Structures are given as C-alpha cells and as structure tokens.
Amino acid sequence: MASQRVKNQTMLQTVPDKRIKRSSDDRNSGTVNNTTTNINAVSVNLADDVLENIFSFLPIKQAVKFALLSTRFKNSWLFSRNLYFDKDFARGRPRGEIMKTVNRVFNLHSGSKIQRFRLYFDPTNVESLVECWIKKVTIKVVEELDLDFTQGKEAFKLSSELLDVESIRVLRLALCELDLPPKLKGLRFLKTLALRKVDVMPGLIKTVFSNCVLLEILELVKCSKIFDLKIVAQNLKKFKVLIVGNCFDILHINIDAPTLCTLHYRGDVCIINFSSKMRKLNDVILNFAPAKGFPQLSQIAELMMGLSYVNVLTVSNTFLEGLSSKFVNGKLREPQFYLWNLKELHLFIEGFSYINPYDIASFLKNCPNLERIFLDLGEFSFECGYYWELHGKENFEHCNPPFQRLKFIKVKGFKFQKLELEMVKFFLNKAMLLESLALVTSRNNHPNSQNASIYDRIFLSWRASPNAKIDIYEYLNDRSSIHPKHSKIWY
C-alpha cells in the first residue's frame, strides 16, 4: 500500500514542478505550501483506474504528455476520448507527419468511445484515407465532429452515410460538399450545426429543420448559394441561436422561430422578416456592410417590430443610415418603433458614412430604458454639411431622449472635433443618472496634458449628474472597466 501511494505521488508531483519549486523558495508562504500538500494528499488516494479515466477525457496531445511522466500510465492515451488534430496540432507539422500521427493513433486506440474529433487537414488526393478516419470515429459513437478542410483547394465531398449517425450532437464543417437526403436516419439528436465555406443547396436547411428537432444552434459563415434563407423552426422547442456571417449571396432571410434568443448577422444589406413573435429574442447583431441603397421604410419598420424584446443590440452605421429620417412625398419622415427592453447599444462606424449626431439621438430617443451605450467611431469624422445645417442641427438641439436609466457611456475613436463635442455635451446634459463616461482617443490623436485638463473642466460643467465620472484614455491605454458584450468580429 505504501509503495502504491509513493508511485501515485511521484507521478502527479512530476506535473507541477514549477509550482512546488516556487512554494519552497518562498518560505513565508505557508498557505501556498499547505494547499500544495493537500492537493497531493488527495491525489495519492486516487486509484489507477480513476486516473486513467480522467486521462481519457484529456485532448490526445495532453494525454500523451502525461503518459510520458510515468511508465505506469504510458498507455493511458490509448483510451483518449478527445482526438484534437486541429490548427494548434497542425501548426509547424508537415502533412505527411500529420497523416502518420493520425493513422498511428487510430491503429492503437483501444477505447470504446471517441467523444470529440477535430481535424484540420488538406485532404487532396487522400480522400479515401480521410473517409476511413471519419468512419472510425462514427463507429466509436463520436458526439462532436469538427472537420476543417480549408487547407485544400476544393471542397471535400462528404457522403450522407458518413454523417447520418445518431451519436453526433455537434457538427462543424469547413470547405465541405454536403448533400443530405430529405429523410435522415440519424442526426436526430444534433444540437449544433456550423457550416463554413460550404455550398448550401436549397434543400439543405429545410432538411436540417425537418429532421433535427433538437437543434439549438445554426451557424453559417462564408457559405454560398444561399439566396433565400428560410428558418422554419416553429416546431423546434430548443432552437436558440442563428449566426450568419458574410454569406454574400443572401438576399432575404425569413425567420419563423419563436424560441430564438440570439441573432448575429454580418454581411451585405438584406431583407430580414420575422414570421412569428420574437418574444425571446434578446441578443442581436446587425452588422450591415456599407451599401449604396437601403430598404424601404416599411421593410425597416417590420424588422424593428421583431426586435421589440431585444436587451443587447449591436449595429453598424449602415443599419442606422437605413433608419434615418427620409423624405417621403416631400415630407421628412422617421420610422416609428420602440425598443422598450433594450439595455445595451453598441454602434460602430466603418468606411464612408452620411451619419450625423441627430441620427444617433433619434434612434436613442426610442430606447427609454438604455443603461449602456458604446459608440465606436473608428477613423470616421462627422461632417457639418448642408443637410446637417438645414435639418439635423435643429432637430438635434430639440431632441430630448428619456435617459432614465443610462449609467455608462463609452466613445472610442474620439478626436475632440466639433460635432463629437456636441454629442458629448448632449449625453452629459441629458443623462441625469450617469455614472461613467469614457472617451478613448483615435489611433492618431494624442492630446497633451494641458488640453486634457481644459476638456476635463468643460465636460464637468456640462454634466447633469453630479456623480458622473469622466475619463479620457489614449488609444493604446484604454483602462476603462466597461466593455460591450459584442465585438466587431465574432467568428
């Protein structure tokens, strides 16, 4: 028994060598020493079969490293459930070495189950070998299958027989040619489907929603041949997330998914319709690329109706331009909408834009319960043009949004220009409960300490909230504690 404990302790102590060395060097750190000792004491009592079971859940790369630490566990990696031959594994390895390693792992693998299989590989001229690997993991009831063939020149053809298995819960495919029959025998328990650089044929999405009734997440990134995307998930009780990124063929998206909680879209301007009430939709990104034209007011109004229950919204300047006031039959009209539940708004401006401060204020006045506002101006500068002087300026001065709960504002790309200062004054004057305003300068703007001090005094004189904290940070020294939930690039 004593010998067994010594072996266990020796094996596990080999792993945290650096930690133990630091603890012994710091003689005043008794707490750390005691903690380390307690961890080892607990580890000693773990039986061999328990440790081997733990090792089986490690990624294959880590499992092999641990196996090298003790001859007693030199074969534990043979039972690994997580075979990760992904980008991290492939980095710096020639194609031949990857093939040799994957073949050896499969030839020696003794476990009854492979839970996750990730492959980043160029399958050119060895397609049959790759099919063999896929068959082996499906035989061992794989649950997560991630196949990335973007190193290849052409899409890898995947037969439905390879994928139509009941064990798969998560399926991620990149640069694949996928053709599923209308009726699937397996994939009934699929929860996540992520397609990247895949030609999505007209019937594929329909097949998925008709057969995969437990689907929760659908992700389409840089996919082609999707012109009219129809999300028919009326009968799906767990469908929560739809992500569409840079699928440039898309012209129209129709969503019938009452359980949808998250919608992230990035790409060209397209028409988005909702065929059901979206009461659970609370997390939305609408990152429309710059465009020459915008949807009609009626189409935008319909889109905004579907966003009525959103809590967090990120939009681009193109989206806001589509919502800006427009002349209709000689009269300046604004879309009518209210986002009663919106708590956080993130607006970022990219490329050339006609947007002005009133466009922003006009949108904000329809969001009465906002708590956090993030404006990322980038290198954009507002223009004091003809339209602003004739219409925007007066409307902006008379705009009175009900900032009843607004507490945090962050503006990035700040250049201390005239209209930017007017916008800051607008926020400070209107936000009675404001707690923090953070201004982060643009990449090429470096205000000196004297000017910063002057602006500090000016900003303090504008604030309606006596407790509002105002901070100015340089571009590379943003120490503000508030950050938006979403980032510009999310895939």
**pTM of the full structure:** 0.84
Question: How confident is the model at residue 65, as a pLDDT?
Answer: 59
Question: How confident is the model at residue 185, as a pLDDT?
Answer: 85
Q: Do 80 and 56 touch, CB atoms closer than 8 A?
A: yes
Nearest to 60 by CA among 43, 81, 39, 40: 81
CA quadruple 29, 34, 35, 40: dihedral sign: positive
For residue 115, the one-letter residue type is: Q
Q: CA-CA distance, 399 to 359, in Å (whole number)? A: 11
Q: CA-CA distance, 254 to 228, in Å (whole number)? A: 8
Q: Do 447 and 441 touch, CB atoms closer than 8 A?
A: yes
Q: Do 105 and 115 touch, CB atoms closer than 8 A?
A: no
Question: How confident is the model at residue 293, as a pLDDT?
Answer: 65
Question: How confident is the model at residue 290, as a pLDDT?
Answer: 85
Ranges of the chain whose pLDDT falls below 50: 1-43, 72
Long-range contacts of 266-271 (CB under 8 A, 24+ apart): 266/490, 266/491, 269/293, 269/294, 269/295, 269/318, 269/322, 271/295, 271/299
Q: CA-CA distance, 367 to 291, in Å (whole number)? A: 26
Token readout for 464 is: 């309606």
Q: CA-CA distance, 122 to 156, in Å (whole number)? A: 9
Domain spans of the chain, in order of start: 1-45, 343-491
Question: How confident is the model at residue 60, as a pLDDT?
Answer: 59
Q: CA-CA distance, 51 to 391, in Å (whole number)? A: 72
